[in-house]
Chain A
Amino acid sequence: MNVTIVDYKSGNISSVINSFKEVAQNKVKIEVTSDLNKIKSSDKVVLPGQGSFKSCIDALNTINGLVETLNDFALNSKKPLLGICVGLQMFADVGYEETETKGLSWISGKVSKINNHNGKYKLPHIGWNEINIVKDSKIFKNIENNSHMYFVHSYEFIPNDKNVISATTDYSSNHVCAVEEENIFGTQFHPEKSDKTGLKIIDNFISL
């Protein structure tokens, strides 16, 4: 089995690579690439994302054929895909960071700035917060409800269909922090930085 971490030259993905390699050891091959054929032939794909919604979408579009390849992987081949942070946000139809930007439209919804209630809540939402698991998601196998995960973000994904939500977290409002729609998984938090519990989520994804 091989898992591909999509390297589309946006943000820092070293921690994602380190954590997947730590979990995979020698059992699973971890590829880090933007090579379209390698992505097509891989069993699972990880879509990381740092920086702004717009900068990530722009970076995806810079690599010729990448968006089409990812669309095909997620929507036609229906192989497991995990989006992390902005990687999850890009599933949406549209994002409003910097300027209105079209997303991948895999899960209908939008990405808007977290309401800071006139400065009552500091942004970014940085640090460890508990997740409320609301759906029996495969990547939460053996993860206790209210486990702590590490978050860094100022924008939240608001899906139209609430059935896709697999976990929420409480900051400003009860916002979406994980989704699952068939083969598509996403976490707003960073499993790669969430210590042993985070590594367990990565293990669950690899073991799907």
Chain B
Amino acid sequence: MLKNRIIPCLDVKNGRVVKGINFVDLKDAGDPVEQAKIYSEGGADEICFLDITASNENRETIYDVVEQTSKKCFVPLTVGGGIRSIEDINKLLNCGADKISINTAAVQNSKIVIDSSKKFGSQCIVVAIDAKQNGKKWEIFTHGGRNSTGIDAIEYAKKMEECGAGELLVTSMDRDGTQVGYDIELMSKISSIVNIPVIASGGVGNLNHLFEGIKLGRASAVLAASIFHYGKHSIKEAKEYLDSKGIPVRI
């Protein structure tokens, strides 16, 4: 039986791990290579790096982080943040990333999803969707949640599947950093409309939120950051909790 995945996400800035509350107020939580290794040894099903380096001169730092990590971690490694071109994707894959998560560039021009999934295979192309609720709908935001687009998140999810995305990483901007749980309605709406796996993200504050993301949000995988980073819970605890609630996990 296919297991639901637990994915710790490390926000990386200038080669160091940080995690913010609503994308501001960043704290330093250590070395990404060591953290990734601790997570993979602790049973993480995948590792996700989100590069939030702002300045272009420090953009190169992520390549080194990915290269070092891929020599120590033998579980899938997803890298996102600031991906602009096929060349960026190629470079990260060559450094040892297994999947690339594309956000803003896919909104600006869906051709990058079509071209990259053809060139590298759908299995390594994840489209990241940052959505904020607006009345009864959800709207896509880009540039780390700063820019509104007017694009409907549900329709966009379907379109990205058609363009060749292998997975969707759906983040609720309303919930991110709040620790009040995933936006279940958003997750389940997207998950039921597409036939590719959905990774739920944004808002995890306790282990039951992971359960809700899978059971109610119908996510194939759940992504979380803070609850793992500061030692509140280990991956093992999360898996034992989900197992006790009848969710299939790899233990």
Q: Which residues of A contact B (CB under 8 A)?
A: 11-12, 14-15, 18-19, 22, 50-52, 55, 116, 119, 122-130, 148, 150-154, 170-171, 192-196, 198-199
List B contacts of A11 (CB < 8 A): 120-121
CB distance from A151 to the nearest CB of B (A): 8
**Contact present for A148 and B250 (CB under 8 Å):** yes
**Contact present for B45 and A50 (CB under 8 Å):** no
- Cβ of B221 within 8 Å of any chain A Cβ, yes or no, is yes
**Cα-based distance from A154 to B71 in the complex (angstroms):** 27
**Cα-based distance from A186 to B195 in the complex (angstroms):** 28
- Cβ of B74 within 8 Å of any chain A Cβ, yes or no, is yes
**Cα-based distance from A119 to B194 in the complex (angstroms):** 9
**Contact present for A119 and B195 (CB under 8 Å):** yes
CB distance from B78 to the nearest CB of A (A): 11
Which stretch in B93-101, B102-110, B170-178, B202-210 binds the other chain? Answer: B93-101
Contact among B70, B76, B197, B250 with A14 in the assembled complex (CB-CB below 8 Å): B70
CB neighbors of A among B97-134 (8 A): 97-98, 119-124
- Cβ of B5 within 8 Å of any chain A Cβ, yes or no, is yes
**Cα-based distance from A130 to B71 in the complex (angstroms):** 25
CB distance from B239 to the nearest CB of A (A): 11
Contact among B98, B121, B197 with A51 in the assembled complex (CB-CB below 8 Å): B121
**Cα-based distance from A128 to B250 in the complex (angstroms):** 7
**Contact present for A12 and B197 (CB under 8 Å):** no
**Contact present for B3 and A127 (CB under 8 Å):** yes
CB distance from B1 to the nearest CB of A (A): 6
The 8 closest A-B pairs by CB, nearest first: A51-B121, A12-B93, A152-B123, A14-B96, A128-B250, A148-B250, A128-B3, A129-B2
CB distance from A146 to the nearest CB of B (A): 10
Residue of B nearest to A52 (CB): B121
**Contact present for B195 and A12 (CB under 8 Å):** no
CB distance from A164 to the nearest CB of B (A): 24
**Chain B count of residues within 8 A CB distance of the other chain:** 32
List A contacts of B166 (CB < 8 A): 124, 126, 152
Known: A14-B93, A14-B95, A18-B96. A150 touches B1 (CB 8 A): no
List A contacts of B167 (CB < 8 A): 124, 126
List B contacts of A124 (CB < 8 A): 122-123, 166-167, 196-197
**Contact present for A50 and B120 (CB under 8 Å):** yes
CB distance from A195 to the nearest CB of B (A): 5
**Contact present for B250 and A12 (CB under 8 Å):** no
List B contacts of A116 (CB < 8 A): 195
A sample of 25 inter-chain contacts (CB < 8 A) reads A12-B93, A12-B94, A15-B74, A15-B96, A18-B70, A19-B74, A51-B120, A124-B167, A126-B167, A126-B197, A127-B3, A127-B4, A128-B2, A128-B3, A128-B45, A128-B250, A148-B250, A151-B2, A170-B1, A170-B2, A171-B1, A192-B74, A193-B74, A196-B74, A199-B74
CB neighbors of A among B153-207 (8 A): 166-167, 195-197
Contact among A22, A128, A129, A171 with B71 in the assembled complex (CB-CB below 8 Å): A22
**Cα-based distance from A125 to B75 in the complex (angstroms):** 16
